[in-house]
Structure 1
C-alpha cells in the first residue's frame, strides 16, 4: 500500500508559492464570505424553494466521540442510519427518504466524494473527519445542481474547517464501550502577518465493535494551508486516512441469533479437520485514501466572485477472505484427482484489491445584486480504477503460486457537468429560482463480473421554483426538479441496467421568529426505471439493485426548533411517507407475476426524532435524544419474511465546557449514553429468494445494533 506522506508537504509548499499571484483589488469583504465561496455555488438558503437542514461545528462537537458522520446525522429529518459493527464506528451508511447512500450525492468543499463506480460513500476511509468539519448541509430530494453523481435521495455538502485568526491547539481523548477510543490533536498557527495560516489534525481511533470481531483500527490526518488577501482566499488541503477493519458485512440469520446470540459474526468462519468451528483471524478490509485539494476564491468586486478548484484522490487497498469450498474454475486452478475422486473445490484464502485515482477540476462564477443572484459552474472529473484478485493459500495440494492473480481488470469513468442557476426577487414578496444542468458520463469496464461495458450518458436536468414571503415570519415555496442517474458497477454485474429518471415536486412552508423555527415540506418523487434494492447481497456484501419500472415516494416532513424557556430547547422532526412500486413484476414460483403496488425496500412509512435540551448554565447542555423508525420491508414483494421490525431508541448526551485560566483556555467534558433502555433493535438486513424447481423459497439476514453503551471524552483547548 502506498504511503503518500510527501504530498501534504508538497501541497502546502505549492499553496505558499501560489499567493505571489494575488490580484490587487481595493474593495475588501468579510473573511467569512470569502470562505463560504467554497460551497456557495452548490448550497441553498432560505430563499431557495427546496428542503434542507444544516449542522454547525458546535452541533457536531457535542457528540463527536468517535462515531461516524452518518451516526452524527441520525437526528436530521427523514434520515435512517446503520452500521455493520453495530456501534456507529467503521462501516456506516445513511438513507434519506428511503434512498440508500449510493443515491446521496456527497461533496467535500464542492469536490465529489462518492466512489465513481459503486457510487457509495465510505466514511470508514476518513475516520474522525467530523473533527475537521466547519458545517454541513443536507438537501433532501434532488436539491440544487451539484458536482458528481446525481442526487436521488439527497445531497450532502461538507465544508471543512475555516481558517483561524489566532493560534490555537486542541487535545481530545475519548473512551467507551467495546474498547472504543479516539485520540485527536489539532493545531492552528493563526493568521501570521494577517495573511498565512497552517492548521492540521492527527487522529487515532480503534474499537472492537459490538458485533464479534468487528474491530476497527483507523488513523487519519488533515493538513491545511491558507493565504488570505483583501479579496483573495487560497487554500491547499491534504487529508486522508488508513483503516483495517474486521469484516462484519455478512449479517446473521434469525437461526444464528437464536443459537449463538445477536453479536455472532459469520465472517471468516470455517470448520477445521476436527469438525470444530474456527474463524480466520485476518478476514479484514484494508484501505488507504488520500485527498488533495487546491482552492482559489476571488472577490473581483462587490458583485462578482469566482471559485476554481483542482483535486486529486488516490486510494489503494484490499480485503482478505477465507473462502470455503471455492470453485477451482473461478480461480484459474486445475482440478486434481485424489484417491480416485476428482477434486474441483477447496478452501481458499484470497485477496481482492483495488487501486484507483480520481482527479479533476470544479469552478463557479457568481454575480450577486440585491434582487438577483446568478451562478455559472461545473466540473470535469476522471476516475481510473484497477481491480485484481490474488490467491494466498489453497487447502488442497494443487499447483499455484503465492499471490497468483486470478483476475485483473480496469475501469474508467469521465464525468463532466455544467450548470446555470439564478434567483430573482421581482417584488418585495415574490422570487423565482431556475437551475439548468447538463451532465455527460462515460463509463468503461472489462471485468469478469461486469462484462465489457462502454456506455455514455447525456443528462439534462432542469429545476425551478417560486418563493412567496408572506410576512416577516411566514414563507411558502414550490419547486420542481428533474434528475437522471447512471447505473453503478454493481448494477452491471447483475445484468443490463437502465439509467434512472426522477421528477421531484416539493411544496413547503417555513415559519421563523427570533427564537422558534418550523419547517413543513411535502414531496412527491416519481421515478422511471428506479434502481431499487432487492434486499439481496452479492458475494462481497454489496446490495443488489434492479430496475423497477414506475415507482414513487410521497411524504410530509416536519421539523422545528422551539425555545420553550430560556434554558429549554426542543427539536422534533417527523416524516410520514408512502413509497411504492407501481404494478411490480417479479418471478415467483417459476412464473412472472404482477404483485400490483408494493412497498419499496428499506423505505419506512414513519420516521421521527426528538431532542430535548436543558442548558442550566453557560457551556452546559443535557439532551435526551430519541429516534423511532417504523417497520419496513427488505424486499419489494411484501412478504412477512422480508419485514424489518420498527424500533425506538433513546440516548442521553451531556456536554460541559469549562473556561479556565492558565495553560488551557477551556476544558470540555462530554458523555454520550447510547440506547439507555437497552433496546435489542435491528436497523438493517437483507432478503433473498430462490426457486427450487417447484416453488420459491425466501429468507432474511440482519445487522443487530448495540444495546446500552457509553462514550466519554475530555477536550483541552489552548
Structure 2
C-alpha cells in the first residue's frame, strides 16, 4: 500500500504540475543555480591537482544497484571489494592503496566520513548514486576540504542540481542471487520560476553470493529549494536503512577450493546457523543550505547539518564467561555455572552536526576562496545481552557503556591567480583543530583518552592551460589524527598523528577525439599508522606508527573516438608502495609473549603495484551500445611483510554491458534496457582478506581469510523516463 501511495504522489508531479511557459525558461537563465558549497572545495579545471569528474549521465549508465564504489571501479588506481561478493551490502574502496579511512568524502560539501573510524559506509545511504548530479575524485592530498584529512584521495558527491524540467523516472533491476533494485524518482521542475522539489525512494535486496549474506536496503531522498536572481535556499533529507547478514569474517583459505561461499557468521549456535546474525542501522541526513550572490564578484554560502545514526549488530556467542560481563558465576542448586551461550547487541547511537561556509571572490584573473567548517560528534557505544541460555543475566543487561565526543574545526583559504600566457598559480592553506574525548573501550572500559590536535596543511602549485591541454605541478602537506581503534593503548603508547607530503606532476589533453593524461606522484609519509601485530600493555592489537614510508607511481590514461560507432578508453597505474623499516610481532603460544621480526623496504599492505581498467564501446546502431569492460589488480599483501603466502593473487576480470534506448513521443520520453554480465569468464578471485599468524608447537602457523567474488552473474534493468 505504501508503494502504491508513493507512486501516485510521484506520478502527480508529471500529470498535475503544469508545464512552464517559454518566458519562464528564459527567466531561469537569470537565476542563481550554481552550487557554491561544492565549488568551494572542488578543484577547478585550472587547479594543479589530479582529478576525475564524473557527470550525471556517466553515473546513470553504471548504476544498476551495486554500491557506489562499484560505480567508480573503472577510475585510475581504484580497487573495490564486497563482503557479500556481488557489490551489494557492505563494500569498500581504496585509491592508490589508501583505504576508505584515508579517503575524504563529502556530500554537498558536508563531511560524510565516520567521525571515529574515519571510514565511509555507503551501505548506510543505499542507492545514493540515483540522487547524484556529479562526482569529483581527487587523488592525492588534493584541495582543502571539510572533514577528516585526505591521505589518498577525496570523493566529492553532489546532489544539489537544479532540475528545470519536471520528470518522473522508474528504475528497476533484477539479477543473480535474487538481486532487486526498485527506484522511483520525480521532480516538479521550476514552479513559478522559483520553487523546485525532487524526491526519490529506493529498495534494494539481494541474497548475496556468500552464504546467508542477505541485504535489505531502503532509502529516500527529498530536496526542496527556493531560487531567485541572487540567492537560493535548499533543504535536503536523505535517509537510509540497512539490514545485512554479517559476512565480514571472510572464508578460510583452505575452504576456497571446496566451499568458496562458506560463511562462519552465526555458526557458534548449535545446529543451523543463527538466523539473526545481522547488522542493522538507520542513518538520516538533514542539510540546510543558503547561497547568496552579493555582487558580480562576491558570493557566499553557508549550511547547517545534522546526521542521525542509530543501530546495532546482533551476535550469538557460545561459552561466554560470566566474569567477562562483570557478573558472578551463576549458582543453580549445587552447581556453579561459569559460562553460558548468549545473544548480544552491540549498539551505536550517534549525532553528528555542525556547519560549513565559504566566501568566494572572483575578479579578472583572481579567484579567492575563504571557508571552513565546524562539527560535533556525540557517539554512544553500548552493548546489551538480550538472551542467555543460563540464568544470572538481568533483562536487557547493559554490560558496556563507553561514549565518545569529538570536536572538529577547520578554516581554509585558497587563491587561484591567472598569470598570463596560459599559466596559473594556486595556493591553499588550511588550519584544522580536533579534540577527541573517548570514555573507554569495549574491552578496556577504564581506559580514557582526551587528546587535542592542531594541523597546518599548506598546498601550492602551478598549471599551464592552453587549447585543451593542461600541465601542472603541486606540492601538498596533509595531516590527520588517529582513529578510535588506534587509541586503545596505554597512555605511554598513544599513536602519533600521520603526516603526508604529496608531490604531483601531470599533463592531460581534453575535449578532443583523442585524449590522454599522465600523472607522476610521490607520497611521502611520516608516522603512517600500520598494522604490526603488536599487542600493547592493555592486551589490544592496534596500529603503530611507521616512521618512514612512501608511495611512488605513475598513472596513465587515454581515450579515443575512432568512428561514430567505436570508441575506447583505459588507464593503468604503476607504483611502488614501501615501508622502509618494519617490525612484525608474532604471538608465541609456546613460550608466551611475542616474537619480533625486522624487515626493510617491504610492501605496504593492500597496495598493488599495478591497477588497470579498460573499456571498448561499440554503437552498432542508433541508441544502442555494447561495452566491454575489464579490470586488472596486481598482487595485494595482507600484511606488511611482503610474504607471498599472505597475499591476494592478482586478478583480471571482464564484464559485458548491452544497452538500448527506446525513444517515444507519447507517454514515455525514453525507455532504457540494460543487461550486464559481470565476470563473464567465471574467474575465481578474491577482492579482500586478512591474516593472523602465531607460533605453536615450534612452528609458524599462518591463517589467511579471504572475501571471494561471485563467478559469472548478471544484472538486467528497465529504466523508464516519463
What is the TM-score with the length of structure 1 in the denominator?
Answer: 0.91
1:589-668 to 2 correspondence within 5 Å? 590-668=594-672
Equivalent residue for 1:576?
574
Q: Please tell me whether residue 380 in structure 1 is matched to residue 374 in structure 2.
A: yes
The structural deviation recorded for 1:697 is: 3.2
Q: Please tell me whether residue 409 in structure 1 is matched to residue 438 in structure 2.
A: no
Structure 1 residues 51-77: Cα deviation after superposition (integer angstroms, max 9, x where no partner): 011111111111211100001100000
Check 1:370–1:618 CA distance in 2 against 1; reply closer, same or farther (3 A cut): farther
Equivalent residue for 1:16?
none
SS at match of 1:661: coil
The structural deviation recorded for 1:327 is: 2.8
Contact 1:535-1:687 at 8 Å conserved across structures: no
Equivalent residue for 1:516?
514
Q: Please tell me whether residue 486 in structure 1 is matched to residue 508 in structure 2.
A: no
Match of 2:715 among 705, 711, 717: 711
Check 1:603–1:67 CA distance in 2 against 1; reply closer, same or farther (3 A cut): same
SS at match of 1:301: coil
- Measured in 1, the distance between the counterparts of 2:47 and 2:449 equals 39
Contact 1:536-1:686 at 8 Å conserved across structures: no
1:293-304 to 2 correspondence within 5 Å? 293-304=287-298
Check 1:537–1:521 CA distance in 2 against 1; reply closer, same or farther (3 A cut): farther
- Measured in 1, the distance between the counterparts of 2:698 and 2:100 equals 37
Structure 1 residues 189-240: Cα deviation after superposition (integer angstroms, max 9, x where no partner): 1111110011100111110001010001111000010111012121110011
Structure 1 residues 426-461: Cα deviation after superposition (integer angstroms, max 9, x where no partner): 122221110000000000011234620100100000
Structure 1 residues 566-593: Cα deviation after superposition (integer angstroms, max 9, x where no partner): 2212110100000000121223574433
Equivalent residue for 1:238?
237
SS at match of 1:490: helix
The structural deviation recorded for 1:343 is: 3.9
Check 1:32–1:613 CA distance in 2 against 1; reply closer, same or farther (3 A cut): farther
Contact 1:34-1:298 at 8 Å conserved across structures: no
Q: Please tell me whether residue 353 in structure 1 is matched to residue 347 in structure 2.
A: yes
Check 1:513–1:199 CA distance in 2 against 1; reply closer, same or farther (3 A cut): closer
- Measured in 2, the distance between the counterparts of 1:156 and 1:108 equals 9
Structure 1 residues 453-509: Cα deviation after superposition (integer angstroms, max 9, x where no partner): 10010000000011123x424332110000101011111235622210110011111
Contact 1:537-1:686 at 8 Å conserved across structures: no
Equivalent residue for 2:329?
335
Q: Please tell me whether residue 288 in structure 1 is matched to residue 282 in structure 2.
A: yes
SS at match of 1:530: strand
Equivalent residue for 1:131?
130
Match of 1:556 among 554, 557, 561: 554
Q: Please tell me whether residue 447 in structure 1 is matched to residue 451 in structure 2.
A: no
Q: Please tell me whether residue 143 in structure 1 is matched to residue 142 in structure 2.
A: yes
Equivalent residue for 2:463?
467
Match of 1:366 among 347, 356, 360: 360
- Measured in 1, the distance between the counterparts of 2:169 and 2:541 equals 40
- Measured in 2, the distance between the counterparts of 1:680 and 1:258 equals 9
Contact 2:506-2:520 at 8 Å conserved across structures: yes
Check 1:68–1:231 CA distance in 2 against 1; reply closer, same or farther (3 A cut): same
Equivalent residue for 2:165?
166
Contact 1:170-1:715 at 8 Å conserved across structures: yes
Equivalent residue for 1:6?
none
Contact 2:188-2:197 at 8 Å conserved across structures: yes
Once the two structures are overlaid, the 10-residue window that deviates more, 30-39 or 188-197, is 30-39
CA RMSD in angstroms comes to 2.1
Contact 2:32-2:231 at 8 Å conserved across structures: no
SS at match of 1:592: strand
Contact 1:535-1:686 at 8 Å conserved across structures: no
Check 1:528–1:132 CA distance in 2 against 1; reply closer, same or farther (3 A cut): same
What is the TM-score with the length of structure 2 in the denominator?
Answer: 0.91
Equivalent residue for 1:265?
263
Structure 1 residues 581-638: Cα deviation after superposition (integer angstroms, max 9, x where no partner): 0121223574433211110000000000001112234432221110000011110012
Contact 1:534-1:687 at 8 Å conserved across structures: no
**Paired residue total:** 681
Unaligned runs of 5+ in 2: 1-26, 589-593
The structural deviation recorded for 1:705 is: 0.5
The structural deviation recorded for 1:641 is: 2.5
Contact 1:549-1:584 at 8 Å conserved across structures: no
- Measured in 2, the distance between the counterparts of 1:127 and 1:168 equals 22
Contact 2:37-2:357 at 8 Å conserved across structures: no
SS at match of 2:420: coil
The structural deviation recorded for 1:342 is: 5.3
SS at match of 1:282: coil
- Measured in 1, the distance between the counterparts of 2:496 and 2:645 equals 29
SS at match of 1:71: helix
- Measured in 1, the distance between the counterparts of 2:621 and 2:541 equals 47
- Measured in 2, the distance between the counterparts of 1:474 and 1:613 equals 25
Equivalent residue for 1:53?
52
- Measured in 1, the distance between the counterparts of 2:546 and 2:165 equals 55
The structural deviation recorded for 1:516 is: 2.6
SS at match of 1:279: coil
SS at match of 1:150: coil
SS at match of 2:268: strand
Structure 1 residues 367-423: Cα deviation after superposition (integer angstroms, max 9, x where no partner): 11231111000000000001110012222x231123111111211000100000111
Unaligned runs of 5+ in 1: 1-27
Once the two structures are overlaid, the 10-residue window that deviates more, 111-120 or 691-700, is 691-700
Check 1:577–1:32 CA distance in 2 against 1; reply closer, same or farther (3 A cut): farther
